[in-house]
Amino acid sequence: MIVAGLQLDIAWEEPAENFRRTEELALQAVDSGAKLLVVPEMFATGFSMRAEAMAAHAPAIRAFLSETATRHDVWIVGGYAEPGDRRPANACSLVAPDGSERLHYRKIHPFTLANEPEHYEAGEILQTAEVEEVRVTPVICYDLRFPELFRATAAATDLFVVPANWPERRSHAWRTLLAARAIDDQAWVLGVNRVGEAEGHVHRGDTSLLDPMGDVVSTLAGEPGVVLGEVDATIVRETRERLPFLDDRRPEIYRRFEE
The model's pLDDT over 43-71, given as tens digits with 9 standing for 90+, comes to 999 999 999 999 999 999 999 999 999 99
Query: What pLDDT does residue 258 have?
Result: 81
In the chain, the domains with their CATH numbers are 2-257 (3.60.110.10)
3-class DSSP state for residue 220?
Answer: strand
Q: Please list the alpha-helical segments (H only) found in 35-113.
A: 51-55, 58-72
Confidence of residue 259 (pLDDT cuts 50, 70, 90): low
Confidence of residue 244 (pLDDT cuts 50, 70, 90): very high
Tell me what the mean pLDDT of segment 79-88 comes to.
96
pLDDT above 90 for 161: yes
> Nearest Cα to 10, choosing from 36, 38, 46?
46
C-alpha 100/C-alpha 205 separation (Å) is 29
Q: What angle do CA 79, 84, 89 make, to 5 degrees?
A: 35
C-alpha 235/C-alpha 31 separation (Å) is 25
pTM: 0.97
Percent of the chain with pLDDT over 90: 98
pLDDT in tens, 9-25: 999 999 999 999 999 99
Average per-residue pLDDT for the chain: 97
Q: What angle do CA 98, 52, 25 make, to 5 degrees?
A: 40
Chain length of the chain: 259
Backbone dihedral angles phi then psi of residue 105, each to the nearest 5 degrees: -135, 135
pLDDT above 70 for 76: yes
Query: What pLDDT does residue 227 have?
Result: 98
Cite the active site residues.
Answer: 41, 107, 141
Confidence of residue 130 (pLDDT cuts 50, 70, 90): very high
C-alpha 237/C-alpha 249 separation (Å) is 17
pLDDT in tens, 163-220: 999 999 999 999 999 999 999 999 999 999 999 999 899 999 999 999 999 999 999 9
C-alpha 45/C-alpha 135 separation (Å) is 28
* Positive or negative: CA dihedral 176, 121, 156, 161: negative
- Which residues 6+ apart lie within 8 Å of 106 measured at CB? 84, 89, 90, 91, 121, 122, 123, 124, 125
Query: What pLDDT does residue 243 have?
Result: 98
